[in-house]
Amino acid sequence: MDLISPRPWHALLATEAIALLGTDPQVGLTSAEAKRRLALVGPNIITGQAGPSAFERLLGQVRHPLIYILVVAGAITALLPGHGVDAVVIFGVVAANVAVGYVQETSAQAAISALSRLVAVRATVVREGQPTRVDAADLVPGDLVRLEAGDGVPADLRLLQVRELHADESSLTGESVPVAKEVGPLPENTQPADRRNMAYSGTTITAGRGTGLVVSTGESTEIGRISHLIATATKVETPLTRRLARFSVGLSWVITGVADRLRAAASALDSIPFASERGYMATLHDLPAEGRVIYAKGSAERVLALAERTVGPDGEEEPLDPERARTLVDELAARGLRVLAFARKQATQEEVLHPEQLARGLVYLGLQAMLDPPRPEAVRAVATARQAGIAVKMVTGDHALTARAIAAEMGLGDGQVETWTGRDLAAVSDDALPAIVERAQVFARVTPEQKLRLVRALQARDRVVAMTGDGVNDAPALKQADIGIAMGVTGTEVAKQAAEMVLTDDNFASIEAAVEEGRAVYDNLRKFITWTLPTNGGEALLVLTAIALGLTMPILPVQILWVNLTTSVVLGIPLAFEPKEPDLMLRPPRDPAEPILTPDLVLRTGYVSVLILLAAYGLFFLDLSTRGRLAEARTIATNTVVLAEIGYLFSSRSLCGATGLVGIAANPWAALGVLAMVALQVAFTYTPLLQTLFQTAPIPSLSWLAVVGVATLVYAVVELEKWWRRRLAACPLW
């Protein structure tokens, strides 16, 4: 039996394909045979292209305009007489930057590799006559795989049975419309895009259900072949970059473990799968006492619309009173219960089930009402989100009264929940819809197209929209939303692929926690920018002022390199570890179009830069005029800049709130950074080696007191400005 050589599977009869792969069409493979084949053909995975080597990562750190400038500057400096030490320092800074970048990119690549190992697509396979869920990597040629709407196709399959089966093959063929599948053989020269009797790895099932025979796995699949061509034709680079022009929460957790669906679909002869536009599912059974019977279940409105009779107390059929049934449905739904209706119909001897058979003549059997109360943590999360200025809306396929009751429990709306149904929305124009969506809290019994309209309507008002969903019908809206969030436990593969984020616990509280975490990350990024711009601005002003006025340079270029290298790492990075501020989730949402450099931030950057300029120049000229030692005066100026940055660091730990000494314990990394920076400056000032490299000299104790006083002054001035802003009840630096 040849399991590896490619064959024109689409040109073979289904029975021929089964025979060639030695599979029982009812029982499938045995576990022992599957294990033997797995050892023969290998796991069903596509080996990814190897990442850059250690040398390539190291070389990539050198390919940067700033590094080019420093290297050229170092080379020119080395050629100048008497500047050998300066050249060594410049090249040392280059080496330090390259080393830091290399370590960061190596860590990032390791994290990405670890995340990719978490991806484990699952598939429903029939082995020894029983359907079971296995990792797609364990599939082998000859396995029988069952497919349902929302599943990702785990390998190349020759379809054996289909029931309204449609697949989205855009990732493979570029076909934008889902393709209807069939089982008959096709001409051998049929191209992959037209092979309707095949389902290819990497595509997704959008509707219906079916069964397929695994014919190719891993590198032998169509997508594996394409992946190999891509790997040999191009080289994908993954440079580690950070863009400060915008903040993106790009954390995507891709998980698996889709819950097994309850199956009725063993005595069922045929079935009509559930579809949101249909509103029900149906199965065909051959019962000993009743013969062939069709059973249907679905939304109460849809099933009742198809039913003509019901079963009375004595078990006999009688005319249906639809209004009485709908009243009961409304009563149950108003209590927050999810309601399903059940019906049946005697069938003919036809083995194929068609939706047309249910268009009339159904016998209504009764209702099932289920209580699914909101999680307490979800209720608290909704309240927190609303406090943060986030409008929470419910978009559901539930009955309108059920959705309204649940929304009231969740705290949506202020005592009154405005609810719109899909039928109501169908009569609303696109121009009028944004105002309705902005105002209402609940949208019930909506179609996939209407979910998409709702998202677009909110975006038309410049809202940032996060959409949650789990089914195939949610995929268009998930893709359209600014942030698509799929359910990781109950979500289909289609929903996960359309989303940017995946919830590992299907809990709304996780979304609220992600918003809070995202705000904290952005807040700390703003703190770092607010700190680093004025400090670098002060250094730049020192140089520009000396050049413009023809004054003695208070700080040498190598000393500025020292300050930038040490403070950005030792003082700046600890700001990323600042804890969340208590009022973080009480602040209003930030305008997404707002730039990082707001007028208030520009103002603070300006006056802090001027403070550093005046302090450094003042102490520099004071020491130079009294002692006349240039190296000593420059050392004082350099320490003034660093200590001023330390003072400003403490103030920058909160952009608007007061930051006293009591706050040091909240972020021990900041305290450690300050201690490390002080130690470095002492070494910079008194260590002979560093004195030689950076042309520094020891300074007296009184000069240290002046330097510390300047740092305290910078801290006090910024705290005074923040106090004034709080008094005005405005904190636009947020």
Question: β-strand 483-487 against 501-503: which pairing, if any?
Answer: parallel
β partners of residue 146: 124, 211
Cα(196)–Cα(158) distance, integer angstroms: 10
* 3 state DSSP class of 484: strand
Cα(474)–Cα(484) distance, integer angstroms: 10
Cα(417)–Cα(413) distance, integer angstroms: 5
In contact, 371 and 337? CB cutoff 8 Å: yes
- Angstrom CA distances, 154 to 89, 217, 522, stand at 56, 8, 38
Return the HEC string of 544-606.
Answer: HHHHHHCCCCCCCHHHHHHHHHHHHHHHHHHHHHCCCCCCHHHCCCCCCCCCCCCHHHHHHHH
Question: β-strand 466-469 against 483-487: which pairing, if any?
Answer: parallel
Q: Which two tokens stand for residue 305?
A: 């619309």
The stretches of 388-432 forming alpha helices (DSSP H) are 400-410, 422-426
Cα(564)–Cα(702) distance, integer angstroms: 26
Q: Which two tokens stand for residue 427?
A: 């009569």
- For residues 319-353, one letter each, b for 16 or more C-beta atoms within 10 angstroms of the residue's C-beta and e for the rest, the string is ebeeeebeeebbebbeebbbbbbbbbbebeeeeeb
Query: Any residues with CB less than 8 A from the CB of 59 and at least 6 apart, and which?
Result: none
User: Is residue 387 within a helix (H) or strand (E), and if so which, with residue range?
Assistant: helix 376-387
- Residue 354's closest CA among 270, 285, 410? 270
**Of these residues, 156, 260, 286, 523, which one is catalytic?**
260
Q: Which two tokens stand for residue 682?
A: 């002492």
Query: Any residues with CB less than 8 A from the CB of 700 and at least 6 apart, and which?
Result: none
User: Is residue 396 within a helix (H) or strand (E), and if so which, with residue range?
Assistant: strand 394-396
Cα(234)–Cα(171) distance, integer angstroms: 19
Give me the helix-helix angle, 557-567 and 84-116, nearest 10°: 20
* 3 state DSSP class of 179: strand
Eight-state DSSP code of residue 236: -
- Angstrom CA distances, 635 to 173, 410, 559, 632, 690, stand at 67, 62, 9, 5, 12
- Angstrom CA distances, 345 to 132, 174, 267, 322, 362, stand at 32, 42, 16, 17, 5
Question: β-strand 317-319 against 483-487: which pairing, if any?
Answer: unpaired
Name the residue type at position 297.
K
User: Is residue 695 within a helix (H) or strand (E), and if so which, with residue range?
Assistant: none
Cα(655)–Cα(578) distance, integer angstroms: 12
Q: How many CB atoms lie within 10 A of CB 420?
A: 22
Query: Any residues with CB less than 8 A from the CB of 364 and at least 6 apart, and which?
Result: 303, 304, 307, 309, 310, 311, 320, 325, 341, 342, 343
Question: Can 398 be counted among the known catalytic residues?
Answer: no
Eight-state DSSP code of residue 663: G
* 3 state DSSP class of 661: helix
Strand extents, DSSP E, 599-664: none
Q: How many CB atoms lie within 10 A of CB 6?
A: 11
Q: Which residues are catalytic?
A: 260
